[in-house]
Amino acid sequence: MAARRLLSRALRPLCALGARPPARYLQTENHELVRQETSSAKTLMDIGTRRIFSSDHDIFRESVRKFFQEAVLPYHAEWEKAGQVSRELWEKAGQQGLLGVNISEKHGGIGGDLLSSAVVWEEQMYVNCTGPGFSLHSDIVMPYIANYGSEEQIERFIPEMTAGKCIGAIAMTEPGAGSDLQGVRTYAKKDGSDWILNGSKVFITNGWMSDLVIVVAVTNREARSPAHGISLFLVENGMKGFIKGRKLEKIGLKAQDTAELFFEDIRLPASALLGQENKGFYYLMAELPQERLLIADMALASCEFMFEETRNYVKQRKAFGKTIAHLQTVQHKLAELKTQICVGRTFVDSCLQLHEAKRLDSSTASMAKYWASDLQNSVATQCVQLHGGWGYMWEYPIAKAFVDSRVQPIYGGTNEIMKELIARDIVIDK
């Protein structure tokens, strides 16, 4: 029922035209029809491939692809100069049913499955437009509210966030605390039934445009460990003492608004506490695997985009009297890249299936994030090389993909931390 509502809301114009993208099927020896995997498809971005998806997902993907190609791609260069996308885009995404896709209907979300969310993540990367912070808003911020919020908080914020009228952000990182969440210094002190919040955060995606920020703060400095004294708070734009600093100038993600946030004696009512007091660290640990899976899937989708962009380029670029695609060196490099990407895609798709079944553990999510984001950077470097000097020009999509990829091994927990988490699970006595 939820999936049907997702389709009817997001795809009404498409379905009215009778559009239904064909799945790419292969016939087995038993005469069964199975979907092609990306390794045997015409391109790595074909609609109708990959066994984890259904024909309903294909219809949704067709609509999402159309949205990004028509409502995002033509305006992205303008947003890169502005350092942010438009508010109008957020509301258009809400009208199209692209926000809160995996949030249940009873909470005010769309009610689609995780794979439908993955379609949105991937299609954004397929147009090479990193500006809209939809994935963080929908699949990192909103689940905290849906999973740990009170009825009042859910009813107040989730429908508005699904509509794109309330933009969400999460403020974990501080100038002195990045991957080490137990090093947080932002502090909320009890004052009667209220809380007084002080501190600062940095590198906050959606920070400049945010209407609602989940703030990670220490609430018990006497706890036996920092993990036992952290809480989450909902801070709204316009609250007295909530100050947005400058939009940070980054080497990539130019259209994504990333900001410093300051909290100066903000008085928060008891209703601003998200979940239980001093349980924030545990909520973060429970939700981080999805964030890391999201990064991994977007990294693989970016690899697929970069490969196709480079394949098209080498088939057109001429040197020594023929296209460089005829050079064996180039052919072997493309073979290596495609193989690496398809191997990575198989693992990430497996992780998507595990998470849909609520079986993705922290260690496996860390493997996906570390492996896929490292691969993304490797693919970006090699694809720029295959473009030659033109790959270094900002007007070429591969140049933007190259600089955008560099942050992937850093945020969501650095890849060094990912290896620590994986290793800990290997050596621990179970």
Catalytic residues: 291
Report long-range pairs for 273-277 (Cβ below 8 Å, ≥24 apart): 273/195, 273/231, 273/232, 273/233, 273/234, 274/144, 274/145, 274/148, 274/149, 274/153, 274/214, 274/231, 274/232, 274/233, 274/234, 275/148, 275/149, 275/231, 275/232, 276/231, 277/219, 277/220, 277/231
Helix, strand, or coil here: 216?
strand
Contacts of 197 (CB under 8 A, 6+ apart): 186, 187, 188, 215, 217, 233, 235, 241, 263, 265, 266, 268
Cβ density class 298-323: b for 16+ within 10 Å, e for less:
bbbbbbbbbbbbbbebbeeeeeeeee
Question: Locate tokens 């933007």: which residue?
Answer: 400
Cβ density class 218-257: b for 16+ within 10 Å, e for less:
bbbeeeeebeebbbbbbbbeeeeebebeebbeeebbbbbb
8 Å CB contact between 324 and 330 = yes
